[in-house]
Chains A and B, each alone.
Chain A
């Protein structure tokens, strides 16, 4: 479904980033990083709105020829960025929204883990049981269509 899912800390460094075509990881890193510009723009535009009524889903950040980049920001300014293949037209806004919500829940679980230090990277290697659930969830969101 998604080709790349990234969790980015408030300070804009990646907490978690994973992409399916691993050989092109770098491209997605660049893409996610660049998308932060739009995330920042949207957040600052939203800043005037009341914080609690704020929509967490940022929508399409920007399209590229091959991919669509969607964004989501939690109240603690942790950003989720999802890159979706443009050819995958089956994905509608609502699906993306629910995927983000799932991601958010899973991330909240990680945060609730007492052995996780907020701000630490969420290891994508499955050896750490701490983030295995999160990792599995991300995997499921990426595989679904493929």
Chain B
């Protein structure tokens, strides 16, 4: 650098001659000179001039560097451009660029220096790649010389001059070049405080070198690279450790652990190569190889010679003996595993652990290997990696075999035998291992090896016969299971046993025979979910959280006490996982010994699905739960500890039972009805000669039919037989001999019963005195009128299985309701009987009779009914009418009995004659005493009545007979042989057609003599136009107050004298029963006058009054000006 030096001289001169002003040419930039003032003078100018001088100097220096370096770089680039020319040498170029790097390094520009090396690195790499692609450079062939020395990286010196010289001399090998390059990079990186990048780059470098040697097809003695890599790894690690403190290293394990693991790997392969891992130790060939390898290391470098733990020493020691190797290898492995674990790289740690396990296995120390294998396997199982699982299991099996853990080995073998990732041969081998063990006589007889079933065979489905899984005591139950054998070969199984747990649930309705047979309906097939063994079910099968809000309020004031979130399915989430790891452990499975077992012996399980049928005879009633499934092969037992979903079958015992029920909804009295007898035999066996003894009820007949047959069904409703029913009847007892039937069968037969009809209590006046009273339960019902009257018949039945008799009540309904009415036409009397069919059936009525039970000769009942046969349809009525004729004085009352024969209309011919239906009733006071006639006349001079105008109403009451027996009551007064009675009339218009003006009622004294007539005149006003019915005229008996009779009547019958308020029950139907109650009409204020002697009113029985004008109508025409009509009604 002559120019630079020249400038320096110039400057010095300038300093020396401070006073002088010099102008100098300084390059082409036009900066000629610098003016400096005397520095001893303390003036601002001086200061300024010096500052300017220094600034300028700095700028110029930099410019000079830039210019020179730029020129250097240009030259270098030119050199690089020539790289395609023959004769170009990388080493030469290397030296040039490194010079630049040195300059930067000197200038403390480490970053820039590093860039130079990185460029060289990249250039070289590119050449190697191109060489691999066939684009070879001549100079590169030099690097392809065989590797003779593999003494690792040297990072302790800033510049490895030895290697540099060899590069300069173009004698360096690829490894030399790489080593040198990396050592320089490492030095710079450490200057830059980036030790972790060193570690990272080192790993890359090592991988890269191995690749490059391969690519360049450099011949490398076996193990040489391993040595080189091992040494380099340790060298890098020690170098980093040398410049960092402990805490820094600990927190950056992630960067260095790769090197540790790589070193471990390499040491392992060296160990295998040199026969240091085998049991017997190295043979001569191994020793030779070791010697060769050690030779390649050369002598230890002086800078590490004093270090005890230098990589060189370590390697040399490790290769020197089996023990030393083991020590070093274990140290490294443990350190690596520890580091991996500490940074959470569990999988990597397990993987190194597996290598370690392999090493232990080689060293015949399976007990040490096992823990690593188990750990790794657990990890793979948890994440469901099938191939690693299989591989690790295989290793584990070997380990367990060596350890003599028979159960574990057999279990692993069974898992492997069912593993589809293994070849058929391997699977057969492991299967055979199990079978061999099973077949060899065990030392202690009875000793069982219990293994989980899953790997051996899987339970696919289960099928019950009978399909509802309910069987009676003594019945046979079949259980068919499908087992899917996982073994590659057919396996002969001595026995397959299902342990059954038995529980009795007494007093539970759910366990009764009825409930079980009716409700437990299923198809009897239970499917078991297939095992998802290789899947990590633990994570993805977890159900989602079911969270709910929860508020708890205080009961008193409804204020919020607590609130929170409840997880409803906590039992699902927190339940112990059926972790796969536990499957590997032999412990969990315990053989249950129960009293109840289902057994199936000597089965050969083919690979794939197998059907196995268990047969059992039910003994005790209760619930049986299938718990465990065991298959025994010799002394090996495969156990499925829990059968899930829960499989149960029920055994029940049933008491014999008799049910009697009508076939129809309800039984009808009077006609034959079918009744079904159901005998559930239960545990009782019906023997020949067993019979049901029915004690006959009086009013109920059991009709014996010759052709009646009994059906016998099995419990599952399959018909098993039928037999004729023999029925013997005597006066008291009907005996039905049952057909022979085994236990748990059902006998069904039907019988016809007939409830003898008896006239039910009906009719108003008669209270059924002296009648054959049937069992009347529903007195209320019959009064409501729409329900049928029912009769209960109790039958007591003696069953052969019990000493107690069963009492059965059969309820019969009377299909008819009968009402009667007395009709009058003047003095002629008619009796009408209405028969109403309440049932759903149609009947044929025949032979209707009405007879007078008192047998009075002068009374005649003339039927007006023409047809003798008459159909009566469901819910319809039929009326019968008789005319009542008498010759002499009619009796005050009449007792009648109505009877009609009936038979169901549908049936053509009945085997027995049916009793007729009868109805008795009493009619009293049927003779007409008074004739009431009302007439309305228009006002005089008018042709028609008009609305609003007063019309005259004339009522004439005529006595039709002389004194009769019925007249003799307290109203009768006698004076001079003449009898008279007091009557009260009343004109009421309920339909408000008429306004009655003036008094509407009055008391008259009626002579008791034929044709005595009383006329009453009053005025009424029509309120509407049209044909209006006449107002009603009612007649009452007016009884004086002082009578002995009056005490019987209650106070309600007292009426006020003038303002008569008569009960105005509208429709005066000729119902005698209602009339009677109507007689005791009340007044509104009767309670006030209680105790006062008041006259009473008594309605005349309907038969005694005949209203001859009832039904007549009067024409009323509208008035002209009805809009001014004013009506006042009092």
Contact = CB atoms under 8 A, between A and B. Distances in A.
Contact of B383 (A12, A26, A38, A63): A12
A29 B254 contact: no
A138 B135 CA distance: 31
B938 interface: no
A33 B207 contact: no
A119 interface: yes
A74 interface: no
A75 interface: no
B357 to A, nearest CB: 13
B383 A64 contact: no
B347 A33 contact: yes
A63 B345 contact: no
B491 interface: no
A12 B538 CA distance: 12
Nearest to A14: B385
Given A33-B385, A119-B540, A63 B204 contact: yes
B351 A34 contact: yes
B387 interface: yes
Interface string A60-75: 0011111000000000
Contact of B388 (A11, A33, A37): A33
B214 A11 contact: no
Given A34-B347, A89-B129, A119-B540, A25 B207 contact: no
A38 B345 contact: yes
Nearest to B266: A65
B348 interface: yes
Contacts of A36: 347, 383
A29 B388 contact: yes
Contacts of B539: 11
B207 A64 contact: yes
A116 interface: no
Contact of A34 (B203, B214, B348): B348
B210 interface: yes
A29 B207 contact: no
Given A63-B203, A65-B210, A65-B211, A33 B345 contact: no
Interface in A27-44: 29-30, 33-34, 36-38, 40-41
B344 A29 contact: no
B207 A30 contact: no
Contacts of A14: 384-386
Contact of A41 (B344, B383, B388): B344
Interface in B377-422: 380, 383-388, 391
B536 interface: yes
A30 B380 CA distance: 10
B215 interface: yes
B345 A37 contact: yes
Contacts of B348: 34, 37
A13 B211 contact: no
B535 interface: yes
A29 B387 contact: yes
Nearest to B351: A34
Contact of B387 (A9, A26, A34, A40): A26
Contacts of A87: 132, 211, 214-215
Contacts of B386: 14
Nearest to B204: A63
Nearest to A121: B535
B202 to A, nearest CB: 12
A12 B535 CA distance: 11
Given A26-B391, A87-B214, A87-B215, A37 B346 contact: yes
Interface string A9-25: 10111100000000001
Contacts of A63: 203-204, 207
Given A25-B387, A38-B345, A13 B203 contact: no
A108 interface: no
A9 to B, nearest CB: 8
Given A37-B345, A41-B254, A30 B384 contact: no
A19 B388 CA distance: 15
A9 B534 CA distance: 14
Nearest to A9: B540
A97 B549 CA distance: 47
Contacts of A25: 387
B258 interface: yes
Interface string B348-359: 100100000000
B536 A37 contact: no
A86 interface: yes
Contacts of B215: 87
A40 B340 CA distance: 13
Contacts of B536: 11-13
B211 A41 contact: no
Nearest to A119: B540
A65 B262 CA distance: 9
A40 B380 CA distance: 16
Nearest to B214: A87
Nearest to B203: A63
A14 B539 CA distance: 14
B793 to A, nearest CB: 68
Contacts of A13: 383-385, 535-536
A64 B204 CA distance: 9
B129 A33 contact: no
B132 to A, nearest CB: 8
B211 A62 contact: no
A93 B873 CA distance: 100
Interface string A36-59: 111011000000000000000000
A43 B204 CA distance: 23
Contacts of A37: 340, 344-348
Contacts of B346: 37
B845 to A, nearest CB: 74
A40 B383 CA distance: 14
Contacts of B388: 26, 29-30, 33
Contacts of B340: 37
A117 B215 CA distance: 45
A38 to B, nearest CB: 7
A14 B204 CA distance: 28
B174 to A, nearest CB: 16
Interface string A75-112: 00000000000110100000000000000000000000
B129 A11 contact: no
Contacts of B207: 63-65, 86
Interface in B249-279: 254, 258
A29 B347 contact: no
B722 to A, nearest CB: 56
A30 B351 CA distance: 8
Contacts of B129: 89
A41 B384 contact: no
17 contacts: A11-B536, A12-B383, A12-B536, A14-B386, A33-B347, A33-B383, A41-B254, A41-B344, A63-B204, A65-B206, A65-B210, A66-B211, A86-B211, A87-B211, A87-B214, A87-B215, A89-B132
Given A29-B388, A37-B346, 18 more contacts: A9-B540, A11-B384, A11-B540, A12-B383, A12-B384, A13-B384, A13-B385, A13-B536, A33-B383, A33-B385, A33-B388, A37-B340, A37-B347, A41-B344, A41-B345, A64-B207, A66-B211, A86-B207
- Those 10 A-B pairs whose CB atoms lie nearest each other, nearest first: A13-B384, A37-B345, A11-B539, A29-B387, A12-B383, A37-B347, A89-B129, A34-B347, A37-B348, A13-B536
Interface of A: 9, 11-14, 25-26, 29-30, 33-34, 36-38, 40-41, 62-66, 86-87, 89, 119
